Amino acid sequence: MTRDFVNTIRAQFPIFAKRTDAAVYLDSAATSQKPQCVLDALLQVYSSSNGNVHRSAHRFARECTDALECARGTVAAFLNAPAPQNIIFTKGATESLNLVAQSLTSSIRAGQTILVSALEHHSNLVPWQELCTRTGAILKIIPLTSDGDLDLVELEALLDSDVAVVSVAHVSNVLGTVLPIKEIGKLVRSSSSALFVVDGAQAVAHLPVDVQDLDVDFYCFSGHKVYGPNGIGVLYGRMDILDKLPPYQFGGEMIEQVSFEHTRYNTVPYKFEAGTPDYPAAIALRSALDFLTSTGWEAILKQEQEILDLATQELSAIPDLTIYGAPHIRSGLLSFNIAGIHHFDLEVMLDRYGVAVRSGHHCAEPLVHLLGTEGTVRASFGIYTNPEDIFALSTALKKSCALLKPQHSGAA
């Protein structure tokens, strides 16, 4: 572990210095903390150049419009999208997935199939259920292997010319499983003409993403999970598909020309960005992505792998603790339960010891039921997580076990 690396990173996140209770934050999969450069960018927009984008000709509007379009370019470069126009700003991954599912309504026929995996967050499940209700399409679930991997043999068996959409997470928010997106994409392309949608909400903060290399049709993420602000998200789409797709919201700025009788839509991406976007958040998202890029993926991957390995080692030493999911392809988090202790009690107890984790079904209720439980405890990590955070977690877990389960052999 390169201590200097983590220390330098932590020094850029004011929340760690500001908290007087020295609380440990292990809930980055829910939302990440923000570096100073992101806070500065937000303040800079509101305090020195605020003006609504793409509307007025005055300097306030021009400055914000230029900064917003620069941010679009930065997101495109971050994902290696062919052009800034491939990037649509949304409120978050949820809105991005709803945009795709809603806009596809008129092109899906009754009897066609939509495939999602068994490990999806509700936001990559419910919009497709609703699309099926609207269109008469059939939702099918790609199962997992007993190890918690996506079952590629079953996927192949499900793929045929009736499949209209395949939508999967890049990284599971419950298991941390990294799905083999390239391999899945190849299967999808070879056996169907389905659109391939990937939910990157849990991926973009933890691994480099190249949408052209992955050969996806759509890819989305949320700003707030990648050290950026809340209220901003991204949808990448392939241009030939976006061109044909109808907008899903209507109003200001998504139009080219309007009369009382008829409306002609704006070009991509603007036809998908009705109303005033959260341009300060988009501009600050640019700072978050620049921060990651300048930190460098090699260093980030190395540090996060070391934290994951340390956490796995520490938690594996706690009696009766089960870690869920496949260990060989995990990223960013560990989900677990301790036999005899309710996951919620554990979360509350850990908080008493100053360690913030999340418990419950993590908005992936069907998956958690498949695991044979009502909920798990999830410790999730970020670029700033250090070994002390992990030791604090394992100490707090041991103390919690001693209180909640006095007969526990590991009680200290």
Which residues make up the interface to ligand PMP (CB under 6 A)? Answer: 92-94, 121, 123-124, 169, 173, 199, 201-202, 222, 363
Catalytic, out of 64, 132, 220, 363: 363
> According to the 3-state scheme, what is the secondary structure of the chain?
CCHHHHHHHHHCCHHHHHCCCCCEECECCCCCCCCHHHHHHHHHHHHHHCCCCCCCCCHHHHHHHHHHHHHHHHHHHHHCCCCHHHEEEECCHHHHHHHHHHHCHHHCCCCCEEEEECCCCHHHCHHHHHHHHHHCCEEEEECECCCCCECHHHHHHHCCCCEEEEEEECECCCCCEECCHHHHHHHHHHHCCCEEEEECCCCCCCCCCCHHHHCCCEEEEEHHHCCCCCCCEEEEECHHHHHHCCCCCCCCCCEEEECCCCEEECCCCHHHCCCCCCHHHHHHHHHHHHHHHHHCHHHHHHHHHHHHHHHHHHHHCCCCEEECCCHHHECCEEEEEECCCCHHHHHHHHHHCCEECEEECCCCHHHHHHCCCCCEEEEECCCCCCHHHHHHHHHHHHHHHHHHCCCCCCCC
| Closest CB 249 distance from ligand PMP, rounded Å | 16
Q: Which is nearer to ligand PMP, 173 or 359 (CB)?
A: 173
Q: Which is nearer to ligand PMP, 88 or 201 (CB)?
A: 201
Q: Which is nearer to ligand PMP, 101 or 396 (CB)?
A: 101
| Closest CB 73 distance from ligand PMP, rounded Å | 23
| Closest CB 220 distance from ligand PMP, rounded Å | 8
Does the annotation mark 363 as catalytic? yes
Q: Which is nearer to ligand PMP, 173 or 400 (CB)?
A: 173
| Closest CB 202 distance from ligand PMP, rounded Å | 5
| Closest CB 150 distance from ligand PMP, rounded Å | 14
| Closest CB 362 distance from ligand PMP, rounded Å | 7
Q: Which is nearer to ligand PMP, 64 or 235 (CB)?
A: 235
Q: Which is nearer to ligand PMP, 93 or 99 (CB)?
A: 93
**Catalytically annotated residues:** 363
